Structure 1
């Protein structure tokens, strides 16, 4: 049974195989307008803990991107936040490190690239998670 993009956004993310990239991005734009400070995880195969997943957070005009694949964990580089950034994912508190928040258009670009290629986005810089 596939989820709708709206359900995916409400749940904090899920498998994305049955949803179009545009429906997911549209749903996140709406969610960011209605309730900034949210995060979502997009997975290719939730049953496989080694499968690639991309977590994105949006807080009005900024956000973050987190890539996980097996033991590799990278976060968006070049962010301007000097303090920890607070987000909520699926009702749970989620914090990102200082320096991880980038402009929202880059978050959307990275998500769009991931949904199109199923690979780590190349349109943003990355730094290893501490």
Structure 2
């Protein structure tokens, strides 16, 4: 299955997208076509002239990953459900294991993508919490 007008790739600049319809349709199609039910597919969504943040999303059946990344910090969903690392791969087959507490219901991923395309800002439909820096001192 292919989605007209949108080539499949690892990252998308959403700056010129008027709506998220083609992008969400492509994510849904890839989700339905996955060959491994235990592994997902991940993408990076950004706005070319706004390098301050990007939305990282993936699909894996009924679940999907959502992360917000900025140059000096990252955010995950407050209600991320996965307790272990989960395998995700790019469209080109590169392995990107996703950390615990980053998966939400896949419908939330589709909503976040639509909001990001519409607003070009971090989606508010997901409640985000900052991921502690691996180099931050522990108490």
Q: TM-score range by the shorter chain?
A: 0.7 to 0.9
- 4+ runs of 1 displaced by more than 4 Å? none
* 1:58-112, Cα deviation, whole Å (9 max, x unpaired): 1000011111233231122212211111100242111122122110011111111
* 1:4-40, Cα deviation, whole Å (9 max, x unpaired): 42x2xx3212212233411111111101110161001
The question of whether the paired residues in 2 share the 8 Å contact of 1:63 and 1:102 is answered with yes
Q: Which runs of 5+ in 1 are unaligned?
A: none
Q: 2:110 aligns with which of 104, 108, 112?
A: 108
Quick one: distance in 2 between partners of 1:16 and 1:93? Answer: 23
Q: What is the TM-score with the length of structure 2 in the denominator?
A: 0.79
Larger Cα Rg: Structure 1 or Structure 2? 2
What is the aligned residue count?
122
Q: Within the alignment, does 1:64 sit opposite 2:65 as a pair?
A: yes
Q: What is the TM-score with the length of structure 1 in the denominator?
A: 0.83
SS of the residue 1:32 aligns to: helix
The question of whether the paired residues in 2 share the 8 Å contact of 1:56 and 1:65 is answered with yes
Q: Which runs of 5+ in 2 are unaligned?
A: 133-139
How far apart are 1:56 and its partner, in Å? 0.2
Show the counterpart of 2:123: 121
Show the counterpart of 1:16: 14
